[in-house]
Amino acid sequence: MTWAAIFVAAIGCYLLKLTGLSVPQHILEHPKVQQLAVLLPVALLSALIFVQTFAEREHLVVDARAAGVAVGVIAVILRAPFLVVLTLAAATAALLRVL
Amino acid sequence: MDRRYPAAMATDDRDVIRDGIVVGLATGAYGLSFGALSDAAGLSLLQTCALSLLVFTGASQFALAAVIGGGGAPMTGAATAILLGVRHALYGLRLSRILKVRGWRRAGAAQLVIDESSAMSFRDDDHQSRLGFWWTGLAVFVFWNLATLIGALGAQTLSDPTVLGLDAAAPAAFVALLAPRMRSRQTWILAILAGLVAIAAVPLVPAGVPVLVAAGSAALVSWRMNLKEPLDGDTTRNDAATVAGRMQKDPTEEPS
């Protein structure tokens, strides 16, 4: 199933890229469509953040992950580079699990 | 040539190419983290590399790996990945005017439509815009895929990659990707709404679905909204250092 999902994602993402290059411009220029394209990633990323931080299958937990993400948030606020943010978050979670 | 700008500010083709390669390297560097994260999520080396080769979109790849790692049905991960790719259709709108490609070249160009190549295609004249697109797109493709392979191989050498705390790295990555998009109170409201809907849905639906439920709710809400912030960012700073600096903080930022 994972391979099927990979191919579905690949085809879907590719078609979106190709569509933009191919479709009549008046459709994509609709302000609501452009607004949706800006806001959809915001909603998706936010949902992913909450689910990836607090969800364990179908339960909600607060564990070392949450602490790691909290440190990541601070790093982002402090404008740390992407890889530094990830490293600090991972290191925090790993450290808490060892202690 | 555009006569509005003094000659001192004009860039030549070599600068455009060099900038593209620099952005390619910077973007490729965090392909390392994707490779490691994907491996930690349980995807095989081949699957990880396939994602970088075929999907070739940072946020979508992270999302797919994260959903699978969290135990969600892979197809919900695919749906999330596709939704995160909707903005690429808008990039193509502008790029189609500049690239003027048909047939196989358009098919190839489509694969390279990503945030970075779109951002680097904002140049004074069409020729340099095309150079910026192609060189950046190709550089990112090469380095992103190489780095993915190295990152995945590196993670595999450990018996339990989660001991590295990589399961906290994925949501942290999403925080870093989200931060530059929080430009107005309306986006904050939407983000918080989406987060709460997703959290509320976790005990109610299978893993992976809460994100889609939140996205659906947000899509309905956003259709009714009137966004006060401009949809296009500042287009004056597109030199390599600024773009690379932005890409470091947000690899999937919209072109500005």
- ipTM for the predicted complex comes to 0.85
What pLDDT is stored for residue A16 in this prediction? Answer: 93
What pLDDT is stored for residue A89 in this prediction? Answer: 92
> Which residue on chain B is closest to A55 by alpha carbon?
B202
What pLDDT is stored for residue A17 in this prediction? Answer: 93
Res. B10: pLDDT tops 70: no
Contact A21 B113 (CB under 8 A): yes
What pLDDT is stored for residue B230 in this prediction? Answer: 57
Mean pLDDT, rounded, for B157-180:
77
Res. B188: pLDDT tops 50: yes
Calpha distance B78→B68 (Å, rounded): 10
List C-alpha distances in Å: B26 to A71, B89, B139, B140, B210: 23, 24, 10, 8, 33
Contact B113 A20 (CB under 8 A): yes
Task: Give tens-digit pLDDT for B118-135.
Answer: 878 877 788 888 998 999
Calpha distance A50→B192 (Å, rounded): 10
Tell me if B121 sits within 8 A of B238, measured CB to CB.
no
Calpha distance B178→B228 (Å, rounded): 18
Contact A16 B88 (CB under 8 A): yes
Give the pair of three-digit tokens for residue B8: 């001192």
What pLDDT is stored for residue B251 in this prediction? Answer: 53
SS3 for B32-100 is HHHHHHHHHCCCCHHHHHHHHHHHCCHHHHHHHHHHHHCCCCHHHHHHHHHHHCCHHHHHHHHHHHHHC
What pLDDT is stored for residue B229 in this prediction? Answer: 64
What residues of chain A score a pLDDT lower than 50? none
What pLDDT is stored for residue B11 in this prediction? Answer: 65
Greater model confidence, A69 or B24: A69
Find the helix or strand (DSSP H, E) in which A55 lies: strand A55-56
What pLDDT is stored for residue B169 in this prediction? Answer: 82
Task: Give tens-digit pLDDT for B193-221.
Answer: 999 999 999 999 877 788 888 888 988 88
State the pTM of this model: 0.73
State whether residue A61 sits within 8 Å of chain B by CB.
Answer: no
Res. B12: pLDDT tops 80: yes
Identify the residue among B61, B114, B167 best suited for mutation to test binding to A, counting A beta carbons within 10 A and taking the highest. B167
Calpha distance A84→B183 (Å, rounded): 23
What pLDDT is stored for residue B4 in this prediction? Answer: 47
Res. B45: pLDDT tops 90: yes
Give the pair of three-digit tokens for residue B30: 């965090």
What pLDDT is stored for residue B64 in this prediction? Answer: 95
What pLDDT is stored for residue B143 in this prediction? Answer: 94
What pLDDT is stored for residue A14 in this prediction? Answer: 96
Identify the residue among B49, B54, B84, B86 best suited for mutation to test binding to A, counting A beta carbons within 10 A and taking the highest. B86
What pLDDT is stored for residue B191 in this prediction? Answer: 95
Calpha distance A91→A88 (Å, rounded): 5
What pLDDT is stored for residue B241 in this prediction? Answer: 46
Res. B150: pLDDT tops 80: yes
Contact B165 A94 (CB under 8 A): yes
